[in-house]
Chain A
Amino acid sequence: MSPVIFELWKDAFSLLLTGAAIKTMDDSLDAPSAPSACLTEQPGALAYALLFLAGGAGLNAALAISLFFAAYAIGMAYDLTEKMPSGLYGYQESLLVAGVGAALFGWAEMLGSLLVIACIQLLDDLRDQTEDRLSGQKNLARRYGQVEIALLGTILLLAAARLALVKAVLTILASLVITALVDHYGRRGEERRLDYDL
């Protein structure tokens, strides 16, 4: 296998593991008290999130950690004025984490990660409009309109591709794979639980 192809596979696996870590952390923060059939929503899932992140960072530290920082910064930016356990407001934590990421990995790496994660977040909002309406969670597609958010997501993706094409494409692909896996196993587990309850 040529070194370039080997590096690509390494990056792809690193992204898959980091994506799994982000998804697991996100789901366990969203529903910490509701045990679910899906691994990412179970109460002890945070330990798996750390394991996935360590694996991803072992394969490509700059890629994995900058994406994780970006996911944290974007996630906290959703609760701009909410006070976090650290005592800082959401936007202050976002700026701090993005700044630390830029200092550690360079502004281009961090900006690329922020752009691609923001794009994934917008795509997620477009997909989850009905669920978010029922659960009362913040959703930018419902607030600002579907077309606006779809256009903004495309612009962010193009900007991310301009900075780092391979990283942007691989990250979007990894997010699609993880979403499909979580949907598949989540639904299968839910069906099994319903069968058991009946």
Chain B
Amino acid sequence: MTFDAVIQILIILLTAVLAGYAAGRRAGLREGCRAGLAEAPLQLKENALLKGECPICGTCPPPANAHLVSE
């Protein structure tokens, strides 16, 4: 096999890898975005109900006995 033939095969292989990787990564990013958007409201509700975390600003109210702890 000549040097030119080896180079040609490598170019074709790498082009195929590039096309597959680029398409797969972009599809994965879109899929991840959709999954994140579907998951986010549920996660926010769960945090609000279980931890009392505000879904807008993310802060938690101080515990009821906070003044006792600081004293």
Contact = CB atoms under 8 A, between A and B. Distances in A.
Contacts of B3: 165
Contact of A148 (B7, B8, B18): B18
A54 interface: no
A159 B11 CA distance: 7
Interface residues of A, number: 13
Interface in A157-173: 158-159, 161-162, 165
Contacts of B8: 162
A130 B4 CA distance: 37
B21 A158 contact: no
Interface in A123-169: 144-145, 147-148, 151-152, 154-155, 158-159, 161-162, 165
30 contacts: A144-B22, A145-B22, A145-B25, A147-B21, A147-B25, A148-B18, A148-B21, A148-B22, A148-B25, A151-B14, A151-B17, A151-B18, A151-B21, A152-B18, A154-B14, A155-B11, A155-B14, A155-B15, A155-B18, A158-B7, A158-B10, A158-B11, A158-B14, A159-B7, A161-B7, A162-B4, A162-B7, A162-B8, A162-B11, A165-B3
